Each structure stands twice: as structure tokens, then as C-alpha cells.
Amino acid sequence: MNAQTLSATELPPIDEDDDAAPPPAPPPPRTTPTARSHASALLDTTSSTWIDEARRLAVAASLTAIFGVSLGLRHGGVTLAWGAIGAPLGILAVGALAAPALGILLALANAPLDALDLARATSRAAAKAGILLAGVAPATALFVVTVEDAITVTIVGFGALILAGIIAARSFQHDLEPVLAKTPGAQRAVVRVAIWAFLAFAGTLAIRVWFMALPMLTVMS
């Protein structure tokens, strides 16, 4: 390489204002932002390990604990800790007790479902519930701190928990749709019934656990 190969005559000239040039094509339309949120990373559906799912479940429990703390603001003190522990218990009970039972049922029905896939669906559902509960925690805090009557606190608290449960159930069902699609015709009905039964059981179990673990929602004062 020498100066001759890089003489001014060989180098492309710098364009001055080129009015004759056609306008460049506009960039292709984007429907979603290029940047993504931290929460979306928590809800990622790419392949993962058992450690990843356990971590996701732990984060979901932590987010739910924030909601529990907001419930405990009404009475303060040790109630804050009760709320922080009690709120995630419902979700963890479903994850630790109900989901494995479903796994066994689906295995008995010979459903084409990997245990890790079930764990992923469970932890994603828990994560969505946790994100929602953490999001409504400030609004819940406003209610529990400003209302005089306990019934409103109960309605608001259980309302948020039930909404989170519905969203989690919807997410769980959606994540298992590919499994249902792969299941042969006769088995599909069995698998579908099993999933519905699981959701009903999980909902009842969660509400029961919350009823016991969140006394601030059940004490009428």
C-alpha cells in the first residue's frame, strides 16, 4: 500500500448537496420497540435449566412478597413480615405441591410433556402473578392505609390475589397448548381435563393458603 493507490483522484469525492439524488427509502415500520424491559427477561420462554426455573420462581416469590408487605402496612410492625412471607406462600404451595401432582397425572396419561417444560410453565405463571402483584402493591398500600373498614381491605387484597391467579392460570394454560397440540386425539381430552382440574385445585389451594397465611385480610378490624 502506498500513497499512489490512495491518491485523491482514486478516492471517491465527498458529495456536496446532491439535489438530483432520489430520496432514500423510509426505514421499515417497527411495531414493537427495540428496547425490552427487565420483566420481559423474567418471562423469557427460551430454553432454560432447572436452576433458571428455580431462580425465576424465587424472583416471583420476591415480587409477591412486595405485595404482602403492602398488605401489612395497615397494622405495621410484625404484620409486614407476615405479609412478606404469607403472600408468596400461596404461589409456592401451588408450585411445590400442585404442579408435581399434575406432572405425575400427565405422565400417567403419557402426555408428551417434559418435566422441565412443566416447571417452566409453572414458574412463568408464578412470575406473571408476581409481576402483577408487585405492580398493584402501591395502589393496595393506598387502600389499606386510608380505608377505615376492613371489608374493603379484604376485597382489595383478595381481588388482587385472585386477578393474579387468573392471569397465572391463563399463562399456564397457554404455555401448555403446544403439548396439547402434540397429544393424540383420545389422550388430548384426558390431558385437558387434567389441566383444568389442576387449575381448579391450584386456585383453591392458593386461596386456602392465603386465607391462613394473611390474617390481615381476614381480621374484621
Partner 1 sequence: MSAGILDRLLRTPKEVANDCREERGAADVARAAIIAIALGAALFGGVVGSWRGDWQVAFAALKLPLVSIGTLAICAPAFYAIAQVFGRPWPLRAVVSIMLAAGARLSLVLLAAAPVMWLLISLGASYPLVKVLAALVYGLAGIAALALLIRGLGGERGRAAIVSIFVCVFMLTGGQLAWVLRPYIGMPDRSKAVALFTKEREGGLVYQLFVAAGEIVDPKPARGPL
Partner 2 sequence: MSLRELVVVYLIVGVACASLVIRKGAVDASRVASAAATVVIWPLWAPFALGKPAAAQAPNPRDTGAVARIERALGEAVDAAADTPMQGVFSRPVAARVLAEVARVATRVGELRALAQRAGFDLEASARRLRDLEARGSPERTVATARLQHESLIRLDKLLVDDVQALDDLADLLEALRSQLLLARYAGSSAEGAEAMVSEVWARLEGLGAVMDVGRMPMDSPT
| Nearest-approach distance from CB 65 to partner 2, in angstroms | 17
What distance in Å separates the CA atoms of residue 205 and residue 101, rounded to the nearest whole number? 13
Which residue stretches of 73-184 are H helix?
A: 78-93, 99-108, 115-146, 150-182
The verdict on 40 binding partner 1 (CB under 8 A) reads yes
Q: Which one among 5, 9, 47, 146 touches partner 1, defined by CB under 8 A?
A: 146
Query: CA-CA distances (angstroms) from residue 102 to 122, 197, 200?
Result: 11, 9, 12
Q: Which one among 2, 5, 9, 34 touches partner 1, defined by CB under 8 A?
A: 34
Torsion of CA 47, 51, 56, 58, to 10 degrees: 170
Which has the closest alpha carbon to 73: 129, 9, 153? Answer: 153
* Cα 22 from chain centroid (whole Å): 48
Residue 186's binding partner among partner 2, partner 1, none (Cβ under 5 to 8 angstroms by kind) is none
What distance in Å separates the CA atoms of residue 123 and residue 65, rounded to the nearest whole number? 16
| Nearest-approach distance from CB 79 to partner 1, in angstroms | 19
> Nearer to partner 1 by C-beta: 8 or 41?
41
Residue 24's binding partner among partner 1, partner 2, none (Cβ under 5 to 8 angstroms by kind) is partner 2
Which has the closest alpha carbon to 122: 189, 50, 66? Answer: 50
> Nearer to partner 2 by C-beta: 123 or 140?
140
Count residues contacting partner 1 (CB under 8 A)? 33
> Nearer to partner 2 by C-beta: 82 or 172?
82
What distance in Å separates the CA atoms of residue 188 and residue 216, rounded to the nearest whole number? 42
SS3 108: helix
The verdict on 162 binding partner 1 (CB under 8 A) reads no
> Nearer to partner 1 by C-beta: 90 or 130?
130
How many residues can be counted in the chain? 221
Each residue 116-145 as x (binds partner 1 by CB under 8 A) or -, in order, gives ------------x--xx-xxxxxx--xx--
User: Which amino acid is residue 76, in one-letter code?
Assistant: G
The verdict on 148 binding partner 1 (CB under 8 A) reads yes
**Residues forming the site for partner 1 (CB under 8 A):** 30-37, 39-40, 43, 128, 131-132, 134-139, 142-143, 146-149, 151-152, 155-156, 163, 167, 171
